[in-house]
Amino acid sequence: MQDKESLKEEYRLTFPNWTEEKLDQYATMMAAKYSTIKKGPDVIHLEYYGGLIDDKDIVEIEANISTQGLQLSRFDKNGVPYASIHDFTLQVALFLSDPIVQMILLGVGTNALWDSIKASSLLVWRRLKQRVWHLPENERRLKINFGLKVRIDADNFFDLKLDGEADEETTLQALDKAFELMKSMKDIQAKSRNKFFIYDKKKGWIEINVMDEIIKKAEQSSKKRK
C-alpha cells in the first residue's frame, strides 16, 4: 500500500529515530509522489526531478502521447534517497514497457506512436542538455544522464543514454537508430538484462560493459589519490 498511513507505518520501522512530525511530513510527501504513478499497457512512465522538468513540460509530454491513446505516469525523485549516482545510470528516464514496445514495432508507415515518443524524449533532452550534478563530497561534477529504459519482454531490457553534450541532429539520429535497435533486440532469444548503450555518430548504438567501466574509473581515481 502506498497511502499516507501505510507509508507512515513503514517509515516508522525504517527510521526509528524520526519524530512523529518528520514521519508525517515524509509520508505525506511520498504519498503525493506515488499518486502520480499509473499502471496499464497504455502507460509510459517518466522518472525525473522536479525543477529540472516542470509542470509545463509534463503537460506537453502528456499532450504528445495522448494523441496516440497513451497515458503518462510519472514519479518525482526529489527527496528520495538512492544508493548511487554514476555515469552509467539514467537519473532521468522514460520507461517503455513491453506492450508499448510491441505497439511501436508493429507500427505501419510513419509510425506516429514512435514519433510522439521521440518528440517527448527530445523535449526532456533539451531541458537537461549539459546539466550536471554537483557532488560536494568529492568535488565532482557529474552529467545528468537521460535516456530510454526499454523492455522488450521479461528477459530482455536495456537502457539507451541520450548524451546531453551531443548536438540535436545527433540526438535525433540516435532516436531513429533506437527504433532499429529495438527491432534487432526483439529477435534475440537469449536473456539480455541490464544492458547499457551509448550512441556514437559513426558507429551507432554501442553496448557498454558497466561493471568494467566502473572498475576502470575506480582504479583511475585510486591512482590520482596516490
User: What Rg, from alpha-carbon coordinates, does the chain have?
Assistant: 19
CA distance 115 to 24: 43
pLDDT band at 84 (very low <50, low <70, confident <90, very high): low
Per-residue pLDDT, 192: 62
Ordered strands of the 146-153 beta sheet: 71-76, 43-48, 92-96, 146-153, 156-162, 192-200, 204-208
Share the mean pLDDT of the chain.
85
Q: Which residues contact 111 (CB under 8 A, 6 or more apart)?
A: 104, 179
Are residues 26 and 94 both part of a single domain? no
Mean of pLDDT values over 196-206: 93
Full residue range of the structural domain in which residue 184 is found: 43-225
Number of domains in the chain: 2
pLDDT digits (tens, 9 = 90+) for 119-162: 999 999 999 987 776 555 555 567 889 999 999 888 888 999 99
Are residues 4 and 71 both part of a single domain? no
Are residues 185 and 74 both part of a single domain? yes
Higher pLDDT, 157 or 188: 157
pLDDT(218) > 70: no
Are residues 104 and 30 both part of a single domain? no
Are residues 146 and 207 both part of a single domain? yes
Check: CB of residue 11 under 8 Å from CB of residue 26.
yes
CA distance 174 to 169: 9
Are residues 48 and 97 both part of a single domain? yes
Higher pLDDT, 146 or 223: 146
